[in-house]
Structure 1
Amino acid sequence: MARFKLALAATTAFTLMAATSAQAEEGMWTFDNFPAAKVNETYGTKIDAKWLNHIQSAAVRLSNCSASVVSPEGLVLTNAHCVIACAQDLSSAENDYTQNGFFTAARTEEKTCPGQSAEILTGISDVTKDINAATSGLTGEAFVKAMNAKASELEKAGCGADQTIRCQVISFYQGGEYKLYKYRRYSDVRLVFYPEYKSGFFGGDPDNFNFPRYNLDAAFLRVYENGKVVKTPNHLKFNPNAPKENDVTFVAGNPGSTQRLMTVAQLETNRDLLIPVSQLQRSELRGRIIQFMAQSPENKRIGTDVLTNLENGFKVFYGQQLALNNPAVMDAKRAEEAALKAGMTAEDKATFGDPWADIAAAQKDVGDLYFPYFFLESAPTSSSLFTTARTIVRLAKERPKPSTERLPEFADTRLPALEKRLLNPSPVEKPLDQIQLEFRLLKAREYLTADSTVTKLLLDKESPEALAKRLIDRTKLTDIAYRKQLMDGGLAAVQASDDPMIQWALKIDDEALAVRKQYEARVTGPTRIASEKIAKIRFKAYATSTYPDATFSLRLSYGKVTGWDYRGVKITPFTDIAGLYERATGVEPYELATSWKTAEPKVDKSKVFNYVTTNDIIGGNSGSPVINAKGEVIGAAFDGNIHSLGGAYYYDSALNRTVVVSSSAIAEALKTVYDRKALLAELTGK
């Protein structure tokens, strides 16, 4: 970890991300505001509306990642780490697909990924005026409620009752714009190909967010509808040849979240409160999961996905913390903020006041409410069975209300996906679930103290260990039929249930919702109102020459294949298959999968394995197609280098790099290592 710290702490010379214009290659651009003219002038490309529409029609948003359609028969390329949960859900003690891989020879062998969906964006419409009209003059909780109600109304009007279409109102520029995104939704997504864990995540946590890399972080899915393969004539062509240095590249995907437009006060809250607390908890939980996995081979099998996600998250936020602790980063943010304020006219000041001060005032309320809100309502790492219980309880409460009056996650347009998640047949590993629920309860008592009313509500007179064990042992929520019975029976059935997890969720729900209501009134509402004002100030100064923060919505970035220089050392942009064998030590995480050991005499070691580009991406982009100027897929983005971890807050073109698994490595692996010639033929059309 020491060298990671040095790497980020030394990033003091990054170009000031002035609000006036983005750096070259910076930006996660929406498809309706992509700077095609600038890109064409810079790179000699011929990007036009037809090119953009073609890419958009084949870009896929999965439940947790990005992907692309790469054949006329619904074949979808993504990362192996994006489907590890599917592989684990389909596994058993006898068939461990996570560790051993999942390989099909015929479509009859393809298996549905529980809970997975695939969405393709089909339309974008501006609904800013509608949202602004609905929220005009409102503050606090009333503002949030009106905004959510109007979004629900617009989504319902856009999609109706058609469950194959999903509509989503998305906020851009911190509330400066609202767009209605319309998706074609596929709920039957099947696993076609997933490599062994040792291949997809070769190098493990030590190599994560580093380069050089040697990962076959690629997997294939297929979309079905009504039991039949979906025909996809608008797919992207797969080019099995690696790009060359300085070739232009595009990444089409769904970056999850950035905070580049946050105010300095918000960034300070992240730095001083939110990230440190979450990191302490990730660190301790990681230790508990490692200890659990060491107890037996079965525990190791069921804990792999959880540990991988924890370790990845820990390193991500470690990098973000270092970025925010870097004086150069915060100075640049202060300068950016000062430039916006200095450009305000007297009329602007009269109209907008000081929205930065309003957001700064809300940060005190974040501090006051954060721990009750976190442990009662929003803790991200917890028992899946408790999450199921809470969702069933709230569904029973919310469904009788008009859609516009419900909590936003229970609006009519969101119910099909929610109900699918509740009836997801993925196996629940109770021992692992118990560890996570117990940990949440232990931390609640630790942070809130034993005398807190929230702690007493959560625990009554039980210990965290005893309560977690009782709830997990005795719940019937692992039974999908029982879940459906409760969902169909409504609030009466839920209240009459003797399931201890359901009863516990009922017990704490009123207080959890009350804390949520306070948070929305004192933090979310005031922050959103002030952010909209800042967005209008920014638009007045720079129009839409800048890009919005990431919101897990479809974006397009541009860049080129190139390495970087760091402290006098030049990092070349490519690795080859030969390097994989040289890096292998025979001991995890540098142990070769048996398939790669066997294939060594015949594999073409000169093929490019991984490469890096200057594309601007963030978490959520995993699985995104990397595309050349012709619109062909030449790889799948799967990571960033260590410097890119500050990408949540700024982009540094000198150091930030996207790490890609090359199409040449994918093709060579399918052909020589795994003997999936039919899959390769479908992929290449040969």
Structure 2
Amino acid sequence: MKKFIICFILAVFAIPVNANEGMWFLMHIKRLNYVDMQKMGLQLTPEEIYSVNNASLKDAIVQFGGGCTAEIISDKGLVLTNHHCGYGAIAELSTAENDYLTNGFWAKNLKEELKPKSLSVRFFVRMDDVSKRILGRVNDQMTELEREAAINQEISKIEMENNEDGKYTVSVKSFYNGNEFYYFVYQDFNDVRLVGTPPKSIGKFGGDTDNWEWPRHTGDFSLFRVYADKDGNPAEYSEDNVPLKPKYHLTTSLKGFEDNDFAMILGYPGRTNRWMPGAGIEQNVNYAYPAWVEASRTSMNVMEKYMKKDQQVNLDYASSYASIANYWKNRQGMIDALKQHETAQTKYKDEESFQEWASKKGNEKYADVMNTINDYYKKTNEISRHNNYLSLLLRTRSAVIPYRLGKELEYYMDQNEAKQAELKPKFEEGIESMYDGLYLPLERDMLAAQLDLYSRKAKNPAPLVAKIAAGNKKGVEGWQSYLETAFKKSIFASKEKLNAFLEKPDAEVLKNDPLYLLSQDLLDRYRYKSEEEKQWDNDFQRAYRLMVQGMRTQNPDKKYYPDANSTLRLTYGKINSLPADKRNDAKENYYTTLKGTVAKYQPGDAEFDMPKKLIDLYEKKDFGQYADKDGYLPVNFLSDNDITGGNSGSPVLNGKGELIGIAFDGNIEAMAGDVIFDDQLQRCINVDIRYVLFLIDKLAGAGHIIDELTLVK
């Protein structure tokens, strides 16, 4: 999850469902899950969870910033999510003089709340099944490209029919690898403002060392507010906007919980691949993920060098670094977990059973599916390695800005003077946005390091890169020397040089610009597929779709849930302890305490420092109403909910639908959870809501925020 935080979980190949496994559509809860949920402790009706006509839990859950989840916790549009989900916005609003990321921030009133440049939340309105309609437009004689074109044509109609003249955003998504389709209706609000955040020493306590680990002691939360126009409708930022009055907001519980209590989570899990074949897992373990890990570490090394020297650079690159570092550890954890648990071998055994079934009379359409899939992975192993090295290279802004702006410049220069005058202000705005926070020495060195790695490790690299590398005998130093000259000659070296070019554009200068040529070379290579590769893709996509269809046909009585794809899901399970761990001072290993947090304290350390006031509150045992009945102050806790990246910030709810925590991470032992479920290992790490409220009230002194909430004691 995280960070696109991932409480990674694990599922058998055909996805038979354990009690705590599954990312379920809300519209199917009554039919598929309600009886199980009642037995485990749910006290709500299905309609109280999901209703189209009446206010329900789903109306309090929002997709935050496009990549996380958040929840509405007051009748004034107050939004609670993870600190790492708000990290980019907090860093953007920070300066060396007003460093909210490092020191924290708490608005004393509505006027002090801060508006980031671009931040939105998305409310889920309704969904429906359109599988029959869409699949009625395709047939088995179509190529995959023809099939895709027919489907997209019907999708466009469905989206147009349901957007109510632009009031809503409508998205039709494929499930079970193209075997089912559903449409989702959303309403977006773009005026979202920062209300409060703890200092980074709390919100990111433990840093990369504790990331994906348990026991955990992190106050990973931040607060925002949704604004609307006076009629409650979405509106762009204006001083006249008012706090949104939501259809529903969560009740916040101070009652606590026990091991084995019911817990459910609603959120927007990003991506799982639980149908992935064994050959796909081996490709990731041996080719794709090692390249990602190596390239990530390469970028991190350069970023660390410059971020340590300058606080403004540290703020400008904080969010990018955190994202790369998170997935660096995640990918290495997945490699280790998938190898340790022999996940590919487990999948191969299931595939043998499927192949035996597919070979029987009546199942002929599935007979060659696994052969096609396995052949595809053999042919694309090196391509996957190449693409991962190149993907990380293209995360370097100086590698892509010349291409993006260069294409716009080509269009700009083709226009007459009147059209250029019309386009120029928007172009200048785009330049300002792209170069905002860009630090040239860091960008140049990071690009050099990535180009060196890519040119050495990837087979069949981009042509210009290969040509330059052939004459480079000095490795990274050689690339640094090349780029130093290229930046001096390039109009893309700074926004000043680019704006100067805009005053006197010259097509020949752009055509021969060294950074534009390099960027064009990289992006063209990234998008290139030979005719042979296109045919491989076509055959693979068809075989994969038939594999999923066949496996569901083979086991028709099992309950299935679709892979995560950033649509709203519900997962249910229980508070669930891990075996005793001497590193945790708690009596039972399903929660941690402030005592354990203070025990990790290392003054001045980048990962384990903490505010002196927090230590003082601990020593005085000044926990207020937020202490557990046994006297300790809870910090984090474990549940066995089935969630993944994108669920960061999701609410953890008890059987009454009351907020008891915020999901923010997973345990490294269950890193294979993207592709296979293990109900013994998987845990989701959550911030106890009582710790959140304690920090708001006692540490920040922001009691006015507590007053907004609907508390249950």
Q: Report the TM-score when normalising by structure 2.
A: 0.81
Matched with 1:83 is 86
Partners of 2:308 and 2:399 lie apart in 1 by 25
Quote how far apart the aligned CAs of 1:459 are: 7.9
Counterpart for residue 142 of structure 2 = 138
The 5 Å alignment of 1:108-507 reads: 108-136=111-139, 137-139=141-143, 141-144=145-148, 147-148=151-152, 150-152=154-156, 154-159=158-163, 162=166, 165-225=168-228, 226=235, 227=238, 228=241, 229-326=243-340, 328-344=342-358, 346-367=360-381, 369-370=383-384, 373-374=387-388, 378-379=391-392, 382-384=395-397, 386-391=399-404, 427-448=437-458, 453=463, 455-456=465-466, 464-466=479-481, 468-469=483-484, 503-504=516-517, 507=520
Q: Aligned-pair distance for 1:648? A: 1.2
Q: Which amino acid aligns with 2:211?
A: N
The corresponding residue for 1:27 is: 22
In structure 2, how many angstroms separate the alpha carbons of the residues matched to 1:495 and 1:555? 53
Q: Deviations over 1:119-177 (max 9, x none)?
A: 12212222334543555333355555555555455434443762x53222222222222
Q: Deviation digits for residues 62-103 of structure 1, max 9, x if unmatched?
A: 222111111121111100011111111111121222111122
Q: Aligned partners of 1:438, 1:157: CA distance in 2, in Å?
A: 49
Distance 1:581 1:432 in 2: 36
Letter in 1 for 2:266: A
Answer yes or no: is 1:618 the counterpart of 2:666. Answer: no
3-state DSSP of counterpart to 2:271: coil
**1:385 and 1:478 in contact (8 A); partners too:** no
Deviates most, 182-191 or 516-525: 516-525
Distance in 2 (CA, whole Å) between partners of 1:447 and 1:307 is 23
SS in 1 for 2:16: coil
Please, what TM-score do these two structures have when normalized by structure 1? 0.84
Q: Which moved more, 1:568-577 or 1:27-36?
A: 568-577
Whether contact under 8 Å (2:393, 2:451) holds in the other structure is no
Query: Whole-Å Cα distance in 2 between the matches of residues 161 and 513 of structure 1?
Result: 37
In the alignment, is the contact (CA less than 8 A) between 1:70 and 1:238 conserved in 2?
A: yes
- Post-superposition offset of 1:198: 0.5
Match of residue 407 from structure 1: none
Q: Is 1:574 the counterpart of 2:591 in the alignment?
A: yes
Looking at structure 2, the residues matched to 501 and 31 of structure 1 have their Cα atoms a distance apart, in angstroms, of: 52
* SS of alignment partner, residue 246 of structure 1: coil
Which stretch shows the higher mean deviation, 536-545 or 645-654? 536-545
Secondary structure of the structure 1 residue equivalent to 2:214 = coil
Q: C-alpha deviations, 1:327-366, integer Å up to 9, x for none?
A: 5423322233233334447455322332222111221342
Q: Which of these residues, 639, 656, 680, is aligned with residue 630 of structure 1?
A: 656
What is the CA–CA distance in structure 2 between the aligned matches of 1:135 and 1:517, rounded to whole Å?
Answer: 26
CA–CA distance in structure 1, aligned partners of residues 222 and 633 of structure 2:
19
- Secondary structure, aligned partner of 2:554: helix
* Letter of the structure 2 residue corresponding to residue 311 of structure 1: A
Counterpart CA distance in 1 for 2:338 and 2:295 is 19
Cα gap change, 1:224 to 1:16, in 2 (>3 Å) = closer
The SS at the match of 2:363 is helix
Q: Is the 8 A contact 1:71 1:235 kept in 2?
A: yes
What is the match of residue 56 of structure 1? Answer: 58
Aligned mates of 1:118, 1:597 — CA distance in 2: 35
Shift of 1:273: 0.8
Q: Is the 8 A contact 2:638 2:686 kept in 1?
A: yes
Corresponding residue for 1:593? 611
Opposite residue 457 of structure 2, the aligned amino acid is Y
Distance in 1 (alpha carbons) for counterparts of 2:685 and 2:432: 35
Q: Which residue of 1 aligns with 2:232?
A: none
The residue that corresponds to 1:408 in the other structure is: none
Q: State whether residues 77 and 226 of structure 2, in contact with CA within 8 Å, keep that contact through their aligned partners in structure 1.
A: yes
Question: 2:142, 2:123 → 1: CA distance?
Answer: 35
Change beyond 3 A, Cα 1:374–1:274: closer
**C-alpha spacing 1:48/1:475, structure 2 compared with 1 (3 Å):** farther
Contact 2:41–2:655 (CA<8 Å) still a contact in 1? no
**SS of alignment partner, residue 14 of structure 2:** coil
Letter of the structure 2 residue corresponding to residue 319 of structure 1:
G
**Correspondence for 1:534:** 547
Q: Return the offset for 1:290.
A: 2.3
What is the correspondence of 1:516-555 to structure 2 with a 5 Å cutoff?
A: 516=529, 521-543=534-556, 545-555=559-569
Q: 1:123 to 1:513 in 2, by over 3 A?
A: same
Work out the CA distance in 2 between the residues paired with 1:603 and 1:101. Answer: 21
> Structure 1 residues 132 and 246 mapped into 2: Cα distance closer, same or farther (>3 Å)?
same
> Aligned-pair RMSD on alpha carbons?
3.8
Which deviates more, 145-154 or 326-335? 145-154
| Paired AA for residue 684 in structure 1 | T
Unaligned runs of 5+ in 1: 1-10, 400-418
Shift of 1:375: 6.0
Q: Distance in 1 between matches of 2:446 and 2:152?
A: 31
Partners of 1:82 and 1:343 in 2: CA distance: 45
Q: Is contact 1:459-1:467 (8 Å) kept?
A: no
Deviation string, structure 1 residues 407-462 (Cα, Å, up to 9, x no partner): xxxxxxxxxxxx99996896334444334433332233223479962524788989
Q: 1:525 to 1:450 in 2, by over 3 A?
A: closer
Q: 1:151 to 1:217 in 2, by over 3 A?
A: same
TM-fit CA distance, 1:522: 3.9
Q: Deviations over 1:243-289 (max 9, x none)?
A: 22221011111122222111111111111111111112122322222
SS at match of 1:174: coil
Cα distance change on mapping 1:566 and 1:313 into 2, 3 Å: farther
Conserved 8 A contact 2:580-2:589: no
SS at match of 2:664: strand
* 3-state SS of 2:246 partner: coil
Stretch deviating more after TM superposition (48-57 or 141-150): 141-150
Q: Relative to structure 1, is the Cα distance of residues 111 and 389 closer, same or farther in structure 2, using a 3 angstrom cutoff?
A: farther
Amino acid aligned to 1:634: I
Q: Which residue of 1 aligns with 2:39?
A: 42
Distance of 1:421 and 1:558 partners within structure 2: 46
Measured in 2, the distance between the counterparts of 1:510 and 1:386 equals 9
Contact 1:141–1:517, Cα closer than 8 Å, also in 2: no
Deviations 1:207-261 (CA, angstroms, capped at 9, x unpaired): 1112221111011111223332222131222223422222101111112222211
Cα 1:470–1:301 shift into 2, 3 Å: farther
For 1:455, the aligned partner's letter is V
1:665-680 aligned at under 5 Å gives the runs 665-680=691-706
Which has the larger displacement, 24-33 or 137-146?
137-146
Counterpart secondary structure, 2:247: coil
> For residues 379 and 510 of structure 1, do their structure 2 counterparts lie closer, same or farther at Cα, with a shift above 3 Å needed?
closer
Answer whether contact 1:448 1:454 (CA < 8 A) is retained.
Answer: no
Kindly tell me: are residues 526 and 505 of structure 1, through their superposed partners in 2, closer, same or farther at Cα, counting changes over 3 Å? farther
SS of structure 2 residue aligned to 1:220: strand
